[in-house]
Amino acid sequence: MCGRLSQYRGVHDFVATLSLPEAWRNNIGDQPLGQYNIAPTTPVAVLRMDAAGLRADLVKWGWRPHWATDRAAPINARVEKVAHGPFFRAIWPYRAITPVDGWYEWVDEGGPRKQPYFIRRRDGRPALCASIGQFIGNAGDGCVIITADAQGGLVDVHDRRPVVLSPQLARAWIAAGLPSAQAEQLVLNLGEPADCFEWFRVSAAVGNVRNQGAELIDPLP
């Protein structure tokens, strides 16, 4: 992933996609988020479980352990290493879903600048991205999205993709008590396949993080 997301629907739409009927806590609000161009280090909506049940929060996109002061906070974690490497060890048990309307990639097509593409689910539903994070209520909080090798036609736009889960698997991912080994196998092997997605060229205006309008995701002629 190149590091831009869209979350323009309201959090109620994201929760409805997750298909959890029980009561939940909305700490974000009822209005559409209207964020078409989310950059790293800025807040993203995440859905997660705690002792009181499902909750929706805004959390910084990006995280690093307290000892990693020599580098910028990563926004993604490679699925091949996330469960065992030392960097994300402290947050691996704290699983969440980052629901997105889509994400952007930039492709070198031989022009003076790379061409941005927007990727989204073909069925129009939000993509439920497997994530982990620190959610203790201080300045060190943040989340990362788990990524895997791209497959099928998605390879043409980038070599990595977020691990997007079906609603059933997303519920399993955030459920309390999911064993670590089972969680690892879930994200290693059960992400949605490439044919669930579509992608198309969009305006270069998305390169400026100040631009947030719906026109950013309009397909180019």
Distances from the Cα of 119 to the Cα of 61, 81, 154, 209, angstroms: 19, 25, 9, 18
Q: Where are the beta strands (DSSP E) in the chain?
A: 5-7, 24-26, 35-38, 43-50, 53-60, 76-78, 95-100, 102-107, 115-121, 127-134, 142-149, 160-162, 164-165, 197-201
Measured CA to CA, the distance from residue 63 to residue 81 in angstroms comes to: 16
Measured CA to CA, the distance from residue 36 to residue 6 in angstroms comes to: 4
Measured CA to CA, the distance from residue 55 to residue 57 in angstroms comes to: 7
Count of residues for the chain?
A: 221
Which residue of the set 2, 184, 196, 198 is catalytic? 2
- Residue 105: active-site member: yes
Radius of gyration of the chain (CA): 17
Contact in structure between 133 and 59 (CB atoms under 8 Å): yes
Which residue of the set 22, 105, 109, 184 is catalytic? 105
Beta-bridge mates of residue 121: 197
- Residue 2: active-site member: yes
98 in the Ramachandran plot: left (φ > 0), alpha (ψ -120 to 50) or beta? beta
Catalytic residue numbers? 2, 105
